[in-house]
A and B are shown apart, each in its own frame.
Chain A
Amino acid sequence: MADFEPKIIAFCCFYCAYSAADLAGSMRLQYPANIRVIEMPCSGKTDIRVLLEAFEDGADGVYVLGCMEGDCHFLKGNFRAKRRVREAKKILDEIGIGGERLEMYNLSAAMGPRFAEIAREFTDHIRKLGPSPVKLKPGTATEKAPTGQ
């Protein structure tokens, strides 16, 4: 467990966290390399299915970064994300993976240092939790058929 390096997916809103990540880079801030940043047009794009599939495909932790409450470029996207994350946490608890492996944070585009801080905090948190229970098991196949028209 000592050499466990978690794989973490960070779903980042284009208007805040994605720019904050840029800023963190420009400021030469150090944060763990465990984070895989995925850009979203808005945190309101958060989809429960995608969050679950991140875990299915081997993530040890997932977090969603949205704008400060009240500052969403699309007005309510971050509130919608918050509800979906809450729902997905319940599902993860039910499955036995643990809702604590999924979180949502709010920040603004000017908060480069906060972006790095969240990355460090969450990585430490997941490191303490250990590898995802799903990762210890063999894989499985999936197929998605088109909508049956």
Chain B
Amino acid sequence: MIIAEGKPLVEVAGLIKDAKKVLVVGCGGCVTVCLAGGEKETGILAAELRLLRKKEGNPLETVEVTLTRQCDPEYVEMLNKYVTDDVDVIVSLACGVGVQFLAERYNKWVVPALNTKFAGGTVAHGVWEERCGLCGECILYKTGGICPIIRCSKSILNGPCGGSQGGKCEVNPETPCAWQLIYDRMQALGKLELLMEIQPPKDWSKSRDGGPRKVVREDVTIDG
């Protein structure tokens, strides 16, 4: 899932300082699971903003809505009835995708309440780690299910580098060396010989180097 975390309250409050009425929109997708922008966090943020503004003697009206997802137009359009003329700002608690989908659809000032961090998963309650670099061409079958693109600080394909010490990364001694993990796993699986193959330079045109990406599935498109 996409992992995000809330922006500091004062930052969000600064973004809506001139507004009298804001629509606070949560998302029921990834950010609900990573406890950053679901219905609960939407309620807390709205309460914080109201309380802050009430204390400043400049009351703020909030309307809270949590959409099933902010990254699908059919759910976004359910917001239509709440986007009234008197709404000054829409505060989105989605990842950057949700914020943009709202901004594209409505002629309103849309601001993000979260910082979108990475694609990862839950490793313990309240702890999330990055696992996928979204590089566009998966090579996990070559590395025992451990991604060298994102878990190796240098994203090298023929590791480890000389900075791998005691199984830890030289960039951050708390980070396990991805190539040590890969070696250990391949050894445990009896597939060390697969690591003998030299990997050619990766085709980064399938990643961000090719500009914004798009996936089209002809079999499921409806129009055209």
Contacts and interface: CB of A to CB of B under 8 A. Distances in A.
Interface of A: 47-49, 52-53, 55-56, 91, 94-97, 133-134, 137-145, 147-149
Contacts, number: 80
B51 A49 contact: no
B56 A142 contact: no
Contact of B61 (A48, A95, A142): A142
B106 interface: no
B63 A56 contact: no
Contacts of A137: 54-57, 59
Contacts of A133: 55
Nearest to A141: B61
B47 A52 contact: yes
A104 B51 CA distance: 21
B47 A95 contact: no
A137 B54 CA distance: 6
B59 A138 contact: yes
B180 interface: no
A140 B54 contact: yes
B44 interface: yes
Contacts of B121: none
Interface of B: 8-10, 28, 39-40, 43-44, 46-48, 50-57, 59-68, 75, 78-79, 82
Given A56-B47, A143-B64, A148-B67, 19 more contacts: A49-B43, A49-B44, A52-B47, A52-B51, A55-B51, A56-B50, A56-B51, A91-B48, A94-B8, A95-B48, A137-B54, A138-B54, A139-B54, A143-B62, A147-B65, A147-B66, A148-B66, A148-B79, A149-B68
Contacts of B57: 137-138
Contacts of A134: 51, 54-55
A137 to B, nearest CB: 4
A140 B56 CA distance: 12
Contacts of A56: 47, 50-51, 54
A94 B10 contact: yes
B47 A97 contact: no
Given A52-B47, A142-B50, A143-B63, A148 B55 contact: no
Contacts of A148: 65-68, 75, 78-79
- Where chain B touches its partner, the secondary structure class is helix
A29 to B, nearest CB: 34
B81 to A, nearest CB: 9
B55 A52 contact: no
A48 to B, nearest CB: 5
B51 A95 contact: yes
A91 to B, nearest CB: 6
A95 B75 contact: no
A134 B78 CA distance: 34
Nearest to B77: A148
The 3 closest A-B pairs by CB, nearest first: A140-B59, A52-B47, A137-B57
B44 A145 contact: no
A59 to B, nearest CB: 11
Contact of B65 (A141, A142, A145): A145
B17 to A, nearest CB: 15
Contact of A96 (B28, B39, B55, B62): B55
A143 B78 contact: no
Nearest to B28: A147
A94 to B, nearest CB: 5
Given A138-B57, A148-B75, A94 B9 contact: yes
